[in-house]
Chains A and B, each alone.
Chain A
């Protein structure tokens, strides 16, 4: 469980606060999506969870952040890593090895996981992500989607309860993006991991996550179930955040008095809505 209590942070070199007055709780087993414009503080928030703030970046730290009851200020990042694993935004720079297997072993070797246990976990994460055939490949020869899977596997091998990802699909094509979110869903549902993901593609978030956080200028301006975004279209528009086209359509039809049901989030729901409108019109 993660608890933020009136947390604010300002980077050493900067005048403005990167995060301001954050108070929230993330329960175990949640699938949380974070969206917001660049500079809204999304990456800073992920750094806070993995203890990189305040241990790697200096600055003014107010309030408290607790992971499983441990205060991140008092606990070193390597201790925190037993509970929280973070996949960083830049896929290439976070790799520490040239071969897939070594990359996955790195964390486990460092933490002194017993030999048999390492072998077992290695097998299990290779299967979990379906990358057994990539085991001996050079990382530089992999596609973006494959690299992202390796990065996730390397974090999962340390067996954290919470996995944090910063724009994992930023440089991927739509097919690979969906593949990554399918994996995150499995990790969440089948393996009970808490997943916290920063993502710009609103449609993926609507489809996959249970809880959505919208950030703006260092604050959380919306915190609710992803279905609730349909009531927040004006807020999203105001912030310049994209909403799915079908949501926009639903809004317009509701405003025109043609439709009275729930606003659709995906194509199937939209098809139902249009059918209803047409039926009402007697077509």
Chain B
């Protein structure tokens, strides 16, 4: 469980980035953190894994204060995928890169080998690749694999799909969703792509100027245009379309649901198909 308790954060001699923020994320949740550039999303995600420490207030991970826990201990529990994979890739081959995270955490040699081979299969990566010259999407996949191979309880994704094409983006998100469903991996995803958020997240936190503007199930936030507008994000198309018809499409969020609703209406109205 991740808990922010009255977290205040500022750099010396500048206005606070996070004035006073409180929320909790339960185990197994899939949370999207949305907001425009400069709203404080990156700061919140770095506070969540102890890379930044609150100026006042507390960040608790399973009850342990991030101020008194070593970052290397937090790293075992919380994986972090950065926007730019090039900041973490540091080994000569993909195989070594995947093993690196496990080795620094002191996992026994045999297990490192087994888990590396497994991850290579899961992410369809070639262990012999020279990672630095692969495409952006492949590098992002290598970075994600080397984060998830450590089997964290929670993973923070900082705009994970930046620079990826749609296909790569779906591949990565589908994999994370599967882990979320099957192993109860907690996910905190920073994003401003509402189509992506709508498709994958269960709950949405809306951040503007370091303050929580909204917090609720994705279905609720998706149809709250005033909150989305304050956060300067563009609403997902189908929920926005549904809203234009008042209550008629109350439970409609996806293309399939909208099509089904219209087909049902046509049937009921007895119109010729």
Contacts and interface: CB of A to CB of B under 8 A. Distances in A.
A and B touch in the complex (CB under 8 A): yes
Interface of A: 36-39, 143-145, 167, 170-176, 178, 200, 202-203, 239-242, 244-246, 248-249, 252-253, 256-258, 267, 270-271, 274, 277-278, 280-283
A248 B259 CA distance: 10
A140 B193 CA distance: 26
17 contacts: A143-B38, A171-B83, A171-B163, A173-B36, A175-B36, A245-B236, A245-B237, A245-B238, A253-B259, A258-B266, A267-B244, A271-B241, A278-B262, A278-B265, A280-B269, A281-B269, A283-B269
Contact of A241 (B166, B192, B262, B266): B166
Residue from B237, B238, B268 with most neighbouring chain A CB atoms (10 Å): B237
Nearest to A280: B271
Contacts of B265: 277-278, 281, 283
B255 interface: yes
Interface string B189-202: 00011110000000
Given A38-B164, A281-B271, A175 B262 contact: no
B163 A170 contact: yes
B192 A245 contact: no
A271 B243 CA distance: 10
Contacts of A171: 83, 162-163
Interface of B: 36-38, 83, 135-137, 162-168, 170, 192-195, 232-234, 236-238, 240-241, 244-245, 255-256, 258-259, 262-263, 265-266, 268-271, 273
Contact of B165 (A175, A200, A280): A200
Contacts of A270: 237, 241
A249 B266 contact: no
Contacts, number: 116
A158 B273 CA distance: 59
Contact of A200 (B166, B233, B256): B166
Nearest to B198: A245
Contacts of A241: 165-167
B125 to A, nearest CB: 15
Contacts of B241: 246, 249, 267, 270-271, 274
A271 B236 CA distance: 14
Residue from A239, A253, A274, A283 with most neighbouring chain B CB atoms (10 Å): A274
A173 B167 CA distance: 20
Residue from B162, B258, B268 with most neighbouring chain A CB atoms (10 Å): B258
Contacts of A39: 135, 137
B170 A246 contact: no
A145 B234 CA distance: 16
A172 B135 CA distance: 20
B35 to A, nearest CB: 8
A278 B195 CA distance: 25
Given A175-B36, A240-B165, A38 B192 contact: no
B255 A248 contact: yes
A253 B262 contact: yes
Given A245-B237, A252-B259, A240 B166 contact: yes
Smallest CB-CB A-B distances: 5 pairs: A240-B167, A281-B269, A242-B166, A282-B269, A245-B237
Contacts of B273: 256-258
A282 B135 contact: no
Contacts of A253: 259, 262
Contacts of A143: 37-38
Contacts of B168: 37-38
A258 B234 contact: no
Contacts of B268: 281, 283
Given A37-B166, A277-B262, 14 more contacts: A38-B165, A173-B37, A175-B233, A178-B234, A200-B165, A200-B166, A202-B166, A245-B255, A248-B255, A252-B256, A252-B259, A253-B259, A282-B271, A283-B269
Contacts of A174: 192-194, 232-234
Contacts of B170: 240
Contact of B237 (A36, A240, A246): A246
A68 to B, nearest CB: 32
Contacts of B135: 38-39
